[in-house]
Amino acid sequence: MWRATVEPAWDLEAWRVQARTAWVAGIPPEALDWADEAAGLLAARPVTEAAPRREPPRIGRGILDLARHVLAHRGPGRHALLYRLLWRIAEGERRLLDFAADPDVRRARQLEKAVTRDAHKARAFVRFREIPGEANSFVAWYEPDHFVLDLVAPFFMRRFAGMRWAIVTPDRSASWDGVELSMGPGGSPADVPDQDAGEALWRRYYASVFNPARLNPQAMRAEMPLRFWKHLPEAQDLPRLMREAGARVEAMVQRAPRPARSRISAPVLPAPATEGLEGLAAAIRACRACPLWEPATQAVPGEGRADARIVVVGEQPGDEEDLTGRPFTGPAGRLFDRALAEAGVDRADCYVTNAVKHFRFEQRGRRRIHVRAGASEQRACRPWLERELSMLRPLAIVALGATAANALTGRGISLMRERGRWLAGPRGVPLIATVHPAWVLRQAADAGDEPYAGLVADLRRVADRLANAATAD
């Protein structure tokens, strides 16, 4: 009898090495005990001591993709099951995985399905808490049914690329420092702080959007099983909200119909927990004042020095900014950087931000297509721009595109008529509106250099103003 050991038990590479060694040595499934289920195991010899007798098996990707999920299942027997499948495929049953009725295939698919579901729940129910005293650092405690952390960590890495985070589970932890994803040992709930400001805000927001008339406890429990509630800050309020639902619906029926309101009337914005632009940025990242936060990867606060002499305001983050968490880092940002440099303005002298802090998009296949934020979303975000401006003392403000110009002047601007002229900006700061770099990128080739040259010319007026201010000093 032979013995194979997979350490850690969910690791594909570890299983693969053991399975390949056993197959090469010609050890059939019934002669191989796997450490997760074997009794009397110690009497068996490790498979690594078996003499090789043939070349490694040629198997397709299908079994490896299946194995990656099946190995993450917590139940016993999965290593042996996978080895049986591998053995049969390598011995000639090349299309085995297509036979859904085969008992081994059926069992493996069941395990795969359970793991896929559990991974989906983890993506939906992990809730981060801010680490007190550490800007932009978050940690979450989560108890999955299976070993799904390795499967879902890349999703969180993409989604929260701009923050530092850790997810701690009983078996394993994952952490992202903004550059590298590392996996480490498991932990306990004590590794996670109790509550943060964003969580209080989120609970208030959840209670305010909870619609008692649409309450369907059965569907709710199916989508959000009770055992996950302990991870969800909003779950603390759910029993009360559900208890009160009947009376609230009755009161809604009794009330006279009112004209429809815009969806977001008075946004509740979290107060920054710490002072300065960093504190403000952290509060922006926790914002849930309009629905744009949910499909977006993260909020994108402004970036730049507190003593920047120019504030540049764009429309909203694009696809790349949504992933990096930093404004104007995508194609429009690169064109803007080039135009700024050509106009003689140093980007380091600019605080760069957007009128709307979340990326609004429409998913088309694998692409996310920019959609202009609606009036209510722009309104919800306005206080953030005001807070940013209140912390800066710029000599000039640059509005890139009509959305930013309208937000900053509080009126509908005719961009093509008013661009390149000094206008009255917020807090008495002179403002210049110009075209958005994304618009320049979209211009047809036959427009030649003109759109770009126009942007540079408008930015030169800003450079001149700074130069004049320097001479006046």
Instruction: List interacting residues with ligand URA (CB under 6 A).
Output: 314-318, 321, 327-328, 330, 332-333, 354, 438
Nearer to ligand URA, 270 or 330 (CB): 330
Cβ closest to ligand URA, residue 65 vs residue 362: 362
Q: Residue 321 CB, nearest distance to ligand URA (Å)?
A: 4
Q: How far is the CB of 302 from ligand URA (least distance, A)?
A: 10
Nearer to ligand URA, 149 or 332 (CB): 332
CB of 72 or CB of 163, closer to ligand URA: 163
Considering the complex, state which of residue 130 and residue 321 has its C-beta at the smaller distance from ligand URA.
Answer: 321
Distance (Å, whole) CA 80 – CA 49: 19
Q: Which is nearer to ligand URA, 174 or 373 (CB)?
A: 373
Q: How far is the CB of 183 from ligand URA (least distance, A)?
A: 32
The least distance separating ligand URA from the CB of residue 440, rounded to whole angstroms, comes to 11
- Minimum CB–partner distance for residue 299 and ligand URA (Å): 12
Nearest position to ligand URA, beta carbon: 314
Residue 330: CB minimum distance to ligand URA, A: 6
Q: Considering the complex, what minimum distance in angstroms separates the CB of residue 403 from ligand URA?
A: 8
Nearer to ligand URA, 172 or 358 (CB): 358
Cα–Cα distance for residue pair 413/383, rounded to 1 Å? 20
Could you give the C-alpha distances from 355 to 309, 399, 404, in angstroms and in order?
A: 19, 9, 6
Provide the minimum distance between the beta carbon of 368 and ligand URA in the complex, in angstroms, as a whole number: 13
Q: Which of 321/349 has CB closer to ligand URA?
A: 321
CB of 278 to ligand URA, least distance (A): 19
Query: Residue 118 or 321: which CB sits closer to ligand URA?
Result: 321
Which residues fall within 8 angstroms of residue 281, CB to CB, at 6 or more apart?
135, 136, 301, 302
